[in-house]
């Protein structure tokens, strides 16, 4: 009597333990990927916030540096297309509030438009103004520009918003020996009838939500320009 054996096609398969282990490893990998992904998102948001916060500051410092570097020396006699240099508490024509800096600078953009036939010399001021958007978070740094220096009446003054959340603005001028909080080239008999050798601008940002006050932002600009002789 012969025994007849039948051969089955055996298909390899995973055991239940192997499936559980595979699912567990996959879950751990997904959790790790999820943690890395959300960490990258938080880092991107923090970087974006930091860049957005620094952009107005960099823009304001760029404008201040360029205006100071292109400052026009005071005229020997009373001039129209050049003016004096003033720092401290300054009252200027066309601006309601006092400003911290008033200069004549050659930073005006020349245009072929007949409606704006102004030269490159313009009067620029920097000062603080109460903020309407965030009254509790400091003041706004405002730059005003007067292009038409030959106006017979009250000149048109353009206000430009530079920076918000400013607690204080200080402008100091160096005369070669010491720093001065006040500078006015219009004062007859004063030793400060020329442009200063350098200007230091200190911007103190306001602290938000009762936090610690940040370090002040300082800008030092040497001024290399031929000036009139002291009289």
pLDDT number for residue 147: 86
Q: Nearest 5 degrees, angle CA 6-CA 11-CA 14?
A: 140
Under 8 Å CB-to-CB from 45, ≥6 apart: which residues? none
Which long-range contacts does 9-16 make (Cβ < 8 Å, 24+ apart)? none
Mean pLDDT by 10 residues, the chain (231 residues): 56 76 88 84 71 76 93 72 83 86 88 73 92 79 88 82 91 92 79 85 83 85 70 46
Could you list the beta-strand ranges (E) of the chain.
Answer: 86-90, 99-105, 122-130, 139-146, 158-174, 179-180, 183-184, 198-205, 217-222
The model's pLDDT over 43-95, given as tens digits with 9 standing for 90+, comes to: 777 766 665 556 788 899 999 999 999 998 887 665 556 678 999 988 888 78
In degrees and rounded to multiples of 5, residue 204 shows phi and psi of -100, 115
**Where exactly are the structural domains of the chain?**
51-222
- pTM summary value: 0.71
């Amino acid at each position: 009597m012969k025994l007849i054996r039948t051969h089955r096609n055996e298909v390899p398969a995973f055991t239940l333990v192997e499936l559980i282990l595979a699912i567990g490893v996959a879950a751990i990998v997904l959790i790790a990927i999820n943690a890395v992904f959300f960490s990258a998102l938080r880092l991107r948001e923090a970087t974006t916030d930091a860049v957005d916060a620094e952009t107005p500051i960099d823009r304001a410092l760029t404008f201040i540096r360029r205006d100071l570097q292109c400052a026009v020396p005071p005229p020997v006699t009373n001039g129209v297309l050049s003016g004096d240099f003033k720092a401290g508490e300054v009252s200027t024509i066309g601006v309601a509030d006092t400003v911290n800096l008033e200069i004549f600078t050659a930073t005006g953009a020349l245009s072929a438009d007949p409606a704006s036939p102004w030269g490159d010399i313009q009067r620029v001021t920097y000062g603080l103004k109460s903020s309407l958007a965030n009254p509790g978070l400091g003041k706004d740094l405002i730059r005003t520009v007067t292009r038409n220096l030959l106006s017979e009446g009250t000149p048109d003054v353009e206000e430009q918003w530079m920076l918000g959340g400013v607690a204080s603005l200080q402008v100091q001028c160096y005369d070669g020996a010491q720093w001065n909080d006040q500078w006015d080239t219009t004062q007859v008999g004063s030793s400060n009838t020329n442009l200063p050798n350098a200007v230091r601008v200190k911007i103190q940002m306001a602290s938000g939500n009762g936090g610690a006050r940040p370090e002040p932002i300082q800008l030092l600009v040497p001024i290399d320009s031929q000036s009139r002789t002291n009289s």
